[in-house]
Amino acid sequence: MSRKFFTFLLLTALMIAAGSMACLQTVEQFDKSDETDSAT
Amino acid sequence: MSHELPLRPTPAAPDVLGGLSPRLALLGVLALIALVHLPLLGFQFVYDDGWTLVANGFLRAPGDLALLFSPEALARHVPDAFRPGLVVFDLLTYQLLGLSSPLHHALSIALHLGVCAVLARWLRVLGAPLDLALGTAALFGLLALHAEAVAVVSYREDLLAALLGLAAALAASRGRWLGAALLSLGACAMKLSAGAIPALWLLAEGLSPWRPRPPAARLARGALALALGVAAVLVYTVALYGALDPYGADNLRVYSHRVGLGPVLAASLPIHLSYLQQMLVPWGLSPEYTDHGAAFTDPATLLAGAALLALAGYGLACARRRPLVALAILGAFALALPTSNLFPMPNMRADRFMYLPSVPVCLGLVALLLAAGRRLSRHVPEDMWLVARVAPLAAVVVVQGSVRVAAAAVYRDNSHLWGVARERAPDSARAHAALGELVVRNVPADAPREDKALAFARAEAHCRNAERHDPRYELPQLCFARLAAAREDWPAAERRYRTALAVSPDRNAGIFAGLAEVSLDLPATPETTRTDLARRHLAEGLASYPYSPELHATAGRIFHRLGDPEQAQVHYRRSLDLAPERPEALLANIDLLLDLGRPTDATRLLLQEKTAWLAAHPDDRTALVARHRDALRLFEPSMILSADPVGVLAHEP
């Protein structure tokens, strides 16, 4: 049972890593945004 | 679906974790949470970290710790003096970890893991099944809304309050009344948001979803022990501040002091509904929210009020038949009370405020997801039974964890943080002012004039936006003041600093430092007036903020300019003692020693303060090394040979 449980946790971690990359792309857009127009 | 939630203990219910050791399973869940938080180790100090850790000289003066428990703490403006437990913790961690941001972030992660572990343990002691306790710890540990509380070092106040508060509840559930009272005291000394823990404990033990309800006398004793800790901190606050409100009745940072409590409470209703949405669906998280008022007749207020009222009513109605649902709903309401704007708060809304209130929400949500899994498992083949049982919970944990990692990335450094804050809260005066100051600070001193003019124009746009959004706030005025100082427009800088000081209730060390510095350069002002002004601002600032390294460094520079090297050295020394990691005072002190023709003393000082020296910009270090070599060549031989006129003459060109 413990092997199944820890495999499940590992899979969860991998899925979070993959999911976070998709979410991070949104955050990265803020990095690249040019604020010259919006600030003024 | 809620009818499937466990109503009473079901010891015969099949366990999804089989014969797995509870301790091993919990360790596995904690390892998963720790793994997801690893990127935080690369983050810098942001937000209030500057005020509470990086520039907090009080942490470098452990000998003055006793002052913390006296009115002197207020007179000397010790940061967060109304949270004495937190100040002591910060002092200890600074002494142990220094200013290493990876170590401080590691500590925050460890505290968060501690909260998850204590939560799981308390649920088990209350009789919750293992899958529910572990699932709650996992969801709480990875909830996206907690990104801010864990990623910002200074917000460990929320983690500490939750850790000690839940430990107090655990101690009370085990009948350890003294431990419960002391832990409750510790939790509230970290942050008074833990003041609602007695209510949560009473709900958990009184509703008792998994075991028979304890006798009333036991409930009363536990609640009393926990409440004693809360009462002690409240008494301490009143004794120190003369009121329950440590922010002061005329503090304009508290929005209710500007527009009254009614509009703030009206606006709080949609805010709390949004919190609930953010916990369930992690959308709309932000490092910054703008304070605003509302009317109770606004449609948004009415709808949010009705929804929250219906939810609270449903929670009450469930008390007898569905105690777990009642605990999830009423517990969240109780824990949200301290930050609900009923009491004065400098921010009406922040993600971190939901750290503790999310505990019962996670519990209810996990119970719901496990119930959904049980229902799902009835419709799949037997070999898929286990997967189906945990699939709904796993899906939610993955979504929350993914958004959590992305949301935490916002807090990696200040420029990134305020850039995102401006995007998410475009009408935030604080975000615009902070961005304006960052733009000014990042202009290189040797940048071409056109580049400087462009950067200053950009900063001015931010300052103007900030002032337009909040003309009664000190940060826009500070933004203008520092911009004017960078443009060497001393009268404008002085005027803006004065305006900032007039509206700022606290954290004024930087304003006094700026005022003193620009006063010396005021044009068309007699020299005696300028020096008198500078000395007066310095004296006033140093009396109010004696633990500010910035103010002492400024005092050193000013006395240096005024030709008072003894006073300059005293303040440079004090600044270095209060912030041994900051290079400004060291560089200025070396400059002073070289001006005095004492290069060997400069070498000695440099060797004593290696940390600050290595923290200085390489250009500044190179320039000083060159000056030092010149000084050695010019001064030192003549000093050594000063007793020998022939020798001195021998070095004459």
Reported as a single tens digit per residue, the pLDDT across B148-206 is 999 999 999 999 999 999 999 999 999 999 999 999 999 999 999 999 999 999 999 99
d(CA B605, CA B599): 10
Asked whether the beta carbons of residue B419 and residue A33 sit closer than 8 angstroms, the reply is yes
Nearest to B6 by CA among B370, B376, B397: B370
Here the tokens at position B408 are 């935490």
Residue in A22, A35, A40 nearest the CB of B419: A35
Q: Which of A4, A7, A8, A9 to probe by mutation at the B interface, max B CB count within 10 Å?
A: A9
Instruction: Supply the ipTM of this predicted assembly.
Output: 0.78
Q: How far is CA B467 from the centre of its chain?
A: 24
Sole residue written with tokens 């995007």: B423
User: What is the nearest CA distance from B12 to chain A, expressed in angstroms?
Assistant: 19
Distance CA B235, CA B187 (A): 15
The residue in chain B having the minimum alpha-carbon distance to the alpha carbon of residue A3 is B20
Q: Is the pLDDT of residue B649 over 90?
A: no
Assign B626 to helix, strand or coil.
helix
In angstroms, the CA B238 to CA B608 distance is: 44
Does the distance separating the beta carbons of B394 and A16 come in below 8 Å? no
* Residue whose token pair is 């000013």: B558
pLDDT above 90 covers what percent of chain B?
Answer: 80
How close is the nearest chain B Cα to the Cα of A29, in Å?
10
Q: Which of A5, A15, A24 is facing B398, going by the closest CB pair?
A: A15
Q: What are phi and psi of B379, to 5 degrees?
A: -110, 15
> Residue B56 has which token pair?
């907090």
C-alpha distance from A32 to closest chain B C-alpha (Å): 10
Q: Cβ of B401 and A40 within 8 Å?
A: no
Neighbours of B19 (CB within 10 A): 7
Other Cβ atoms within 10 Å of B518 Cβ, number: 27
> Which chain A residues in 2-31 lie under 8 Å from chain B, judged by CB atoms?
2, 4-6, 8-9, 12-13, 15-20, 22-24, 26-27, 30-31
Res. B121 pLDDT band, cuts 50 70 90: very high
Collapsed DSSP state (helix, strand, coil) of residue B212: coil
The per-residue pLDDT for range B489-514, each reduced to its tens digit, is: 999 999 999 999 999 988 999 999 99
- Residue A39: predicted pLDDT: 44
Judged against a pLDDT cut of 90, whether residue B387 lies above it is answered with no
What distance in Å separates residue B509's CA from the closest CA in chain A? Answer: 29
Contacts of B469 (CB under 8 A, 6+ apart): B290, B427, B428, B429, B432, B476
Q: How far is A26 from chain B (nearest CA, A)?
A: 8
Mention the CATH class of domain B415-616: mainly alpha
pLDDT surpassing 70 at residue B134: yes
Cβ-based neighbour number of residue B477 at 10 Å: 26
* pLDDT of B159: 98
List CB contacts (< 8 A) between B31 and chain A. 9
pLDDT over 80 (residue B147): yes
Dihedral sign (CA B550, B551, B556, B562): positive
Q: What is the DSSP string of B242-263?
A: SSS-TT-TT-TTSTHHHH-HHH
Q: What residues contact B367, with CB distance under 8 A and at least 6 apart?
A: B5, B6, B132, B324, B328
Rounded Cα distance between B135 and B365, Å, is: 10
B445: three-class secondary structure by DSSP: coil
Q: Which chain B residue shows the shortest CA-CA distance from A16?
A: B402
Percent of chain B with pLDDT over 70: 94
Contact in structure between B168 and B195 (CB atoms under 8 Å): no
Q: What Rg value do the Cα atoms of chain A yield, rounded?
A: 18
Exposed e or buried b per residue across B103-139, where buried means at least 16 C-beta atoms within 10 angstroms of its C-beta = ebbbbbbebbbbbbbbbbbbbbbbebbbbbbbbbbbb
Task: Give the confidence band of B384 by pLDDT, cuts at 50, 70, 90.
Answer: confident
Query: What is the model's pLDDT at position A29?
Result: 52
B31, B406, B435: residue with CB nearest A23: B406
Query: What pLDDT sits at residue B630?
Result: 85
Question: Measuring CA to CA, which residue among B232, B242, B221, B220 is closest to residue B194?
Answer: B232
DSSP letter at B54 equals I
Identify the helix (H) or strand (E) that includes residue B599.
helix B599-608
**Does B214 score more than 80 pLDDT?**
yes
Q: Is the pLDDT of residue B457 over 90?
A: yes
Between the CA of residue B280 and those of B11, B284, B374, B377, B399, what are the distances in Å? 29, 12, 20, 23, 10
Token pair, residue B383, equals: 């070999």
- The residue assigned the tokens 């440099």 is B606
Residues of chain A positioned with their CB less than 8 A from the CB of B435: 35, 39
pLDDT tens for each residue of B566-591: 999 999 999 999 999 889 999 999 99
pLDDT at res. B38:
95
What is the DSSP track for B141-191?
A: HH-GGGHHHHHSGGGHHHHHHHHHHHHHHHHHHTT-HHHHHHHHHHHHHH-
- Considering only B14-18, B315-319, B388-392, which range has the smallest mean pLDDT? B14-18
Q: What's the CA gap between B328 and B367, in Å, rounded?
A: 10
Size of interface A-B (CB pairs under 8 A): 88
Who contacts B214 (Cβ-Cβ below 8 Å, separation ≥6)? B205, B208
pLDDT of B394 > 90? The answer is yes
Using one digit for the tens of pLDDT, what is the confidence trace for B526-581?
999 999 999 999 999 999 999 999 999 999 999 999 999 999 999 999 999 999 98
Q: Flag whether pLDDT at B641 surpasses 70.
A: no
Buried b (16+ CB within 10 A) or exposed e, B162-186: bbbbbbbbbbbbeebbebbbbbbbb
- What are the angstrom distances between the C-alpha of B477 and each of B172, B431, B541? 50, 13, 18
Every domain of chain B with CATH number 1.25.40.10 lies at 415-616
Distance separating alpha carbons of residues B197 and B176, to the nearest angstrom: 16
CA torsion, points B595, B598, B600, B606, in degrees to nearest 10? -40
Query: Residues with Cβ < 8 Å from B455, sequence gap 6 or more?
Result: B439, B440, B442, B443, B447
Nearest to B45 by CA among B430, B428, B433, B417: B417
Bigger pLDDT: B238 or B14? Answer: B238
Q: Residue B600 has what pLDDT?
A: 87
What's the pLDDT at B639? 52
Find the CB nearest B397 among A1, A4, A12: A12
Tokens of B484: 């004017």
